[in-house]
Amino acid sequence: MVSKNSSLYKRLNMLLFLCVTPFTVMIIYLLSMTYRFSERYDVIVNNITSANEYSIDFKEDLDYAMYVIVVNSERASEIVDTDPHELIEEARGVFQKLSQTADRDYARTQLARIVKSLNILEERVQEIEDDAQVVGMYDTNMQRLDLNIRILTELIEEQVQDYIYHEAENLESLREGVRSDVAWTLRIGIVVCVVVGCVALLLCRLSISRLKEGIQQLRMVTRKAGHGDFKVRAEIEKSDEELAELGEGFNQMVERIGNLVEDIRVEQLNLRATEQKLLQAQINPHFLYNTLDTIIWLAESNQKEQVVMMVSALSDFFRTTLSKGRDYITVMEEESHIRSYLKIQQFRYQDILDYEIDIPKELHPYQILKLTLQPLVENALYHGIKNKRGKGYIRVTGEKESGRLVFLVKDNGLGMDEERLSQVRAAMNKGDTSSDPSGFGLFNVVQRIKLNYGAEYGVWISSTYMEGTEVRVEIPMIKNTENGK
């Protein structure tokens, strides 16, 4: 963590302040300008909208209402819903309110004219309404309707249009002002960006020049460490606190990495030794002794063909087991290995054992860790088939699934209940063989798969008591391109 009193921390704060302050001021100014424009724009639009409502309908509604009053004053209220006085009063209230909020003399003058015309119009309306009830005033009222009412409403309509036109010019003036402000702000912004960029570049160059020597030193020792020299150490002067701390941290890291590499090397040696012991343990002495005893018995019985078959199968079995020291073999070789094993065991247990191997030839070129399937087949025979009365059956299959190779080893042996299955799974995944020693072979297979392929691969087992067991193996789909690991 960089100290707040360090030189680098102070330089970074200065650079941050230099960059943030002018842009913050510009943003505040732009927000303020936008707010003022939006507020003024809303007022003008509202004024235009309010005035435009009376420009469209006021003359037509009032003229029609007065015509009905002149022609048929007695039924005027039934024919027309609009009261001329209410219409005039409503319009006068709107334009008086607009006059109070107007910010220019011309707008106030024009609105005052409209209000004055509305007052005169109201007087003329009252005169016609008063004489409409008098017999013999029809012609006079018709003249008043043409000369007073319609001319006044037309005049008011023109005045309203003039006011709307003035407000539209005001809106255009506002837009031009905003455009001018934006252009001015853009020019100032460019100048600020140039100045800030130049000052920031100068500060950066000064900082880089101070850090360059120390970084080059770290770069050199890092390259050496990357090539395996974990004894290298960074030697940086303490004049710059940050680089000194970085160098110290690097030295500690390299020392720890060196220790870890040594630990890994020792662990790999131990792993190799364990794998070799595991391979040797897979060659079950009892299996070898029993097979040799069977061959001797066949030879003494003069069954030459059976002797040849058993010796050939045993030879193939150990040839794959050894595989010239390779850790990986092809699926075809692994299939040959379990086939030799089952052929030998079927001769010994021909009364209780049948088997089937169904692995597609398209899987044969892919690689598999040696001795992956054979221990599973052996478990199926000794812990499944032999414990069941009657004929047993083992089936080994393989397929591609979602970019993986999946192998299934199924048997119709005794199977396991839930408690027994939990014990086997614990032994298989955790190496806990205290409750189930038979799980040691499965544990070895699981650990070898995870060590060589990764934790996402492994072995899964399911079983039903008195029905059988299924073991599922998943490994990556990798073509076998080499003869060894």
Yes or no: domain 7-200 corresponds to CATH 2.60.120: no
Cβ burial 79-91 (10 Å sphere, 16+ → b, else e): ebeeebeebbeeb
Sheet with 353-358: list strands edge to edge. Answer: 353-358, 392-401, 404-411, 468-476, 458-464
In this prediction, residues 73-93 reach a mean pLDDT of 73
Mean pLDDT in residue range 181-205: 78
Least Cα distance to 436 among 450, 422, 446 occurs for: 422
pLDDT value for 2: 47
Judge whether 7-200 and 283-476 match in fold. Answer: no
pLDDT of residue 484: 43
Q: Among the ranges 92-106, 348-362, 425-439, which has the highest mean pLDDT value?
A: 348-362
Summarize the confidence of residues 98-115 as an average pLDDT.
79
Tokens 């570049």 -> residue: 201
| pLDDT at res. 133 | 67
Return d(Cα 339, Cα 428) in angstroms, integer. 24
Looking up tokens 């798969």 gives: 449
Least confident range from 77-86, 182-191, 256-265: namely: 77-86
Q: What angle do the packed helices 105-131 and 7-71 form, to 10 degrees?
A: 20
Q: What is the pLDDT of residues 431-455, one digit of tens each?
A: 655 555 556 678 888 888 888 888 8
User: Could you tell me the sign of the dihedral formed by the alpha carbons of 346, 347, 349, 350, in that order?
Assistant: positive
In the chain, domain spans:
7-200, 231-282, 283-476
Highest mean pLDDT among 4-8, 289-293, 302-306: 302-306
Tell me the C-alpha distance between 459 and 461, whole Å. 7
Q: 283-476, superfamily in CATH?
A: Histidine kinase-like ATPase, C-terminal domain (3.30.565.10)
Buried b (16+ CB within 10 A) or exposed e, 286-307: ebeeebeebbeebeeeeeeebb
Give yes or no for residue 76 having a pLDDT over 70. no
Number of H helices, E strands in the chain: 13, 7
Q: Can you give the C-alpha Rg of the chain in angstroms?
A: 50
Q: Which residues contact 301 (CB under 8 A, 6 or more apart)?
A: none
- Residue 343 in contact with residue 317, Cβ under 8 Å? no
- Supply φ then ψ for residue 389, to 5 degrees: -80, 140
Which pLDDT tens digit goes with each residue over 135-164?
Answer: 667 777 777 777 777 888 888 788 788 877
**Could you read off the pLDDT of 214-249 as tens digits, one per residue?**
777 777 777 777 777 767 777 766 656 666 777 777
**Region 80-84 average pLDDT:** 72
